Amino acid sequence: MQAYWTLARRELGGYFLSLTGYVIIAAALFLMGNCFVVVLAKLQYYPTSTPVTELFFNTEFFWLILLPTTPLITMRLFAQEKFSGTFETLMTSPVKDLEVVLAKFTAALMFYAVMWLPLLGCLLVVRHYTHDASALDAGVVASTFLGILLLGAMFVGLGCFASALTRNQAVAAMISLVFGVSLFLLAYLADRFAAGAHWQAQVLACFTLFDQMSDFARGVVDTRAVVLYASLALFSLFLTLRVVESRRWK
């Protein structure tokens, strides 16, 4: 347990000791700000009763932030250590493989959560200027952030796996981008073709990420989505653990 916290702290600290962390946060902040301008401009001409949070997820900005940032966050996790050789000093310390994988995942997820915090600021600004308490409901904000975190856990988990596969950070980023974009395309397909009653359509319907995120943003916590995100995240962590252990089989 001590090793887990020590490692997680070091990993999280690592983002802020290099420029990468700040650049990622700045870029995400820039896109988030843009997104809000778009949402507010829309609101000006077409007033609706839809929550602001949901409007946010109906712009492409959310995916524009999510898809490229998660590979950037996760690419360094294992690849950098393997490249610099510190992976050897790490794995010859008395730490368990599982602790290493979980610590790295936790740190990446925490950084991801920190990256999204400015969104809260944007929402507060809206609430401040609308002078309307109903414009921003605490429950809705909580479920929105839960959605962001769970979806993020899935993408970060896949990124972890990608990073464990290689010692080259750029390659790790590309692999996890491929994973991310595949999920995105799957969601796109599901959005258009999941109407049928046969089993393929029903499986596809599980991956309607856009609808699921809109649900979260409306304050609806759908267990199907929660289970999907959590199980995919766990599965990718399991694969990561196998890859880390694999040096003992060679």
Partner 1 sequence: MSDGLMIEVASLTKQYAGHTAVSNISFTVGHGEIVGLLGPNGAGKSTTMRILACYLPATSGTVRVAGLDVFKRSDEVRRRIGYMPENNPLHLDLRVGEYLRFRARLKGLNWTRCRRRVDTVMEQCGLTEVSRRIIGQLSKGYRQRVGLADALVHEPELIILDEPTIGLDPNQIRSVRQLIKGLASAHTVLISTHILPEAEMTCNRMVIMYEGKILAAGTPENLERLMSHNSQVIAEIAAPPEELRECWTQMPQIDQFDVSPCEGEYFRCALTPRNGVDLRPSVYELACKHGWPLRELRRSRHSLEDIYVQVTRPGEEEET
- Return the residue of 3, 110, 149, 186 that touches partner 1, per CB under 8 A: 3
Residue 86 binding partner 1, by CB under 8 A: yes
- Return the residue of 93, 130, 200, 231 that touches partner 1, per CB under 8 A: 93
* Burial of 145 per CB tally in 10 Å (0-12, 13-18, 19+): middle
Residue 85 binding partner 1, by CB under 8 A: yes
Comparing CB distances to partner 1, the nearer of 1 and 133 is: 1
Residue 130 binding partner 1, by CB under 8 A: no
- Return the residue of 7, 8, 39, 65 that touches partner 1, per CB under 8 A: 7
Q: Is the dihedral of CA 5, 6, 12, 16 positive or negative?
A: positive
The answer to whether 55 and 144 are in contact (CB under 8 A) is: no
- Nearest distance in Å: CB 243, partner 1: 16
The contact mask relative to partner 1 for 45-84 (x = CB under 8 A, - = no) is ---------------------------------------x
- Return the residue of 18, 48, 182, 231 that touches partner 1, per CB under 8 A: 18
Comparing CB distances to partner 1, the nearer of 2 and 223 is: 2
- Return the residue of 8, 12, 14, 165 that touches partner 1, per CB under 8 A: 14
Euclidean distance between CA atoms 208 and 215, whole angstroms: 11
- Nearest distance in Å: CB 80, partner 1: 10
H or E element in which residue 14 lies: helix 2-17
CB environment 49-68: b (16+ within 10 A), e (fewer): eebbbbbbbeeebbbebbbb
- Return the residue of 46, 94, 132, 223 that touches partner 1, per CB under 8 A: 94
- Nearest distance in Å: CB 234, partner 1: 24
Of the candidates 199, 230, 224, the residue with the CA atom closest to the CA atom of residue 211: 224
* Residues between 231 and 250 with contacts to partner 1, criterion CB under 8 A: 247-250
Query: Tell me, what DSSP letter sits at residue 5?
Result: H
Name 245's Cβ contacts closer than 8 Å, sequence gap at least 6. Answer: 97
- Return the residue of 31, 95, 135, 149 that touches partner 1, per CB under 8 A: 95
User: SS3 helix, strand, coil % of the chain, rounded to 5?
Assistant: 85, 0, 15
Alpha carbon 50 to its chain centroid, in Å, reads: 24
**Site residues for partner 1 per CB under 8 A:** 2-3, 6-7, 10, 14, 17-18, 84-86, 88-96, 247-250
